[in-house]
Amino acid sequence: MIAVVTRTDDELTPDEIVAWGAENMAAYKRPREVLIRDEMPLTDMGKLDKQALKEEVL
């Protein structure tokens, strides 16, 4: 699963992103599932909070 943040004017669906990956990426790199978020969780230091993101997905 991958998590993405789209631009405010983009109205992409997870299926469109997966379809784009199928056409443009190698099979082992393709996303199988996509989670679209408004923003990514950050730590106090401003880095991506991978643990919070992982907990949200599970």
Which residue, among 30, 34, 44, has the nearest Cα to 2 in the 3D structure?
Answer: 34
pLDDT along the chain (58 residues), means of 10: 83 92 95 90 95 86
Structural domain of 9: 2-57
Please list the residues that pair with 2 across neighbouring strands. Answer: 34
Q: What's the domain count of the chain?
A: 1
- Give residue 1's pLDDT: 82
Q: Which amino acid is at 31?
A: P
25 dihedral zone (left: phi>0; alpha: psi -120 to 50; beta) = beta
CATH classification at residue 51? 3.30.300.30
- Give residue 17's pLDDT: 92
To the question of pTM greater than 0.85 for the whole model, the response is no
- Give residue 16's pLDDT: 93
Where would I find the H helices in 1-58?
A: 14-24, 50-57
- Give residue 19's pLDDT: 95
